[in-house]
Protein backbone atom coordinates (compact mmCIF):
# COMPACT_ATOMS: atom_id res chain seq x y z
CA UNK A 1 0.00 0.00 0.00
CA UNK A 2 2.81 2.41 0.90
CA UNK A 3 4.76 1.48 -2.23
CA UNK A 4 1.76 2.11 -4.48
CA UNK A 5 1.03 5.42 -2.77
CA UNK A 6 4.64 6.49 -3.32
CA UNK A 7 4.49 5.59 -7.00
CA UNK A 8 1.34 7.68 -7.37
CA UNK A 9 3.06 10.63 -5.66
CA UNK A 10 5.90 10.43 -8.21
CA UNK A 11 3.47 11.76 -10.84
CA UNK A 12 3.26 15.14 -9.08
CA UNK A 13 4.41 18.02 -11.33
CA UNK A 14 7.06 19.10 -8.82
CA UNK A 15 8.89 15.76 -9.12
CA UNK A 16 11.83 15.35 -11.53
CA UNK A 17 10.99 14.14 -15.02
CA UNK A 18 12.83 10.84 -14.50
CA UNK A 19 10.65 10.03 -11.47
CA UNK A 20 7.47 10.81 -13.40
CA UNK A 21 8.67 8.65 -16.32
CA UNK A 22 9.49 5.78 -13.97
CA UNK A 23 6.11 6.06 -12.25
CA UNK A 24 4.29 6.09 -15.61
CA UNK A 25 6.17 2.99 -16.74
CA UNK A 26 5.36 1.14 -13.55
CA UNK A 27 1.71 2.21 -13.54
CA UNK A 28 1.41 1.16 -17.18
CA UNK A 29 2.66 -2.31 -16.28
CA UNK A 30 0.18 -2.48 -13.39
CA UNK A 31 -2.91 -1.29 -15.23
CA UNK A 32 -2.41 -3.73 -18.10
CA UNK A 33 -3.13 -6.58 -15.68
CA UNK A 34 -6.89 -6.73 -15.09
CA UNK A 35 -6.70 -9.29 -12.28
CA UNK A 36 -4.24 -7.12 -10.39
CA UNK A 37 -6.51 -4.09 -10.70
CA UNK A 38 -9.41 -6.18 -9.43
CA UNK A 39 -7.34 -7.17 -6.40
CA UNK A 40 -6.39 -3.54 -5.74
CA UNK A 41 -10.07 -2.62 -5.68
CA UNK A 42 -11.07 -5.61 -3.56
CA UNK A 43 -8.24 -5.33 -1.03
CA UNK A 44 -8.02 -1.56 -0.73
CA UNK A 45 -10.77 0.56 -2.30
CA UNK A 46 -13.64 -1.71 -1.23
CA UNK A 47 -12.47 -2.03 2.37
CA UNK A 48 -13.65 0.45 5.00
CA UNK A 49 -10.92 2.69 6.41
CA UNK A 50 -8.39 1.64 3.74
CA UNK A 51 -6.50 3.72 1.21
CA UNK A 52 -8.28 4.02 -2.12
CA UNK A 53 -5.30 2.89 -4.19
CA UNK A 54 -7.17 2.37 -7.45
CA UNK A 55 -8.97 5.70 -7.15
CA UNK A 56 -5.68 7.47 -6.33
CA UNK A 57 -3.99 5.88 -9.35
CA UNK A 58 -6.74 7.00 -11.72
CA UNK A 59 -6.93 10.51 -10.25
CA UNK A 60 -3.15 10.95 -10.43
CA UNK A 61 -2.98 9.72 -14.01
CA UNK A 62 -5.78 12.11 -14.96
CA UNK A 63 -4.06 15.03 -13.24
CA UNK A 64 -0.78 14.14 -14.93
CA UNK A 65 -2.37 14.06 -18.38
CA UNK A 66 -4.16 17.37 -17.75
CA UNK A 67 -0.91 18.95 -16.57
CA UNK A 68 0.94 17.76 -19.69
CA UNK A 69 -1.68 19.24 -22.01
CA UNK A 70 -2.12 22.48 -20.07
CA UNK A 71 1.60 23.18 -19.63
CA UNK A 72 2.50 22.72 -23.31
CA UNK A 73 1.37 25.47 -25.67
CA UNK A 74 -0.58 24.36 -28.70
CA UNK A 75 1.50 24.73 -31.85
CA UNK A 76 -0.07 24.76 -35.25
CA UNK A 77 1.68 22.97 -38.06
CA UNK A 78 3.32 25.42 -40.44
CA UNK A 79 1.46 25.89 -43.69
CA UNK A 80 3.54 24.94 -46.74
CA UNK A 81 4.34 27.95 -48.87
CA UNK A 82 3.95 27.71 -52.61
CA UNK A 83 6.51 29.85 -54.39
CA UNK A 84 5.12 32.81 -56.34
CA UNK A 85 1.50 31.83 -55.79
CA UNK A 86 -1.48 34.01 -55.12
CA UNK A 87 -4.23 33.03 -52.72
CA UNK A 88 -7.28 31.51 -54.40
CA UNK A 89 -10.27 33.69 -55.15
CA UNK A 90 -13.62 33.08 -53.52
CA UNK A 91 -16.86 32.49 -55.40
CA UNK A 92 -19.93 32.21 -53.16
CA UNK A 93 -17.59 31.53 -50.23
CA UNK A 94 -15.82 28.64 -52.01
CA UNK A 95 -12.19 28.92 -53.13
CA UNK A 96 -11.56 28.85 -56.87
CA UNK A 97 -8.48 29.26 -59.02
CA UNK A 98 -5.06 27.67 -59.41
CA UNK A 99 -3.96 25.34 -56.63
CA UNK A 100 -7.54 24.56 -55.53
CA UNK A 101 -8.75 21.03 -56.09
CA UNK A 102 -12.32 19.82 -56.00
Does residue 86 surpass a pLDDT of 80?
A: no
Which has more confidence, 41 or 76?
41
| Rounded percentage of the chain residues whose pLDDT exceeds 70 | 70
Segment 67-77 shows an average pLDDT of 73
Which has more confidence, 82 or 62?
62
Neighbours of 55 (CB within 10 A): 13
Segment 47-71 shows an average pLDDT of 88
Is pTM, for the whole model, over 0.85? no
Amino acid sequence: EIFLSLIVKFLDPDKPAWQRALALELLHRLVTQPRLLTEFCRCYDCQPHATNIFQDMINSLGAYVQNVFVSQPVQEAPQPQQPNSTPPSLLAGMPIGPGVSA
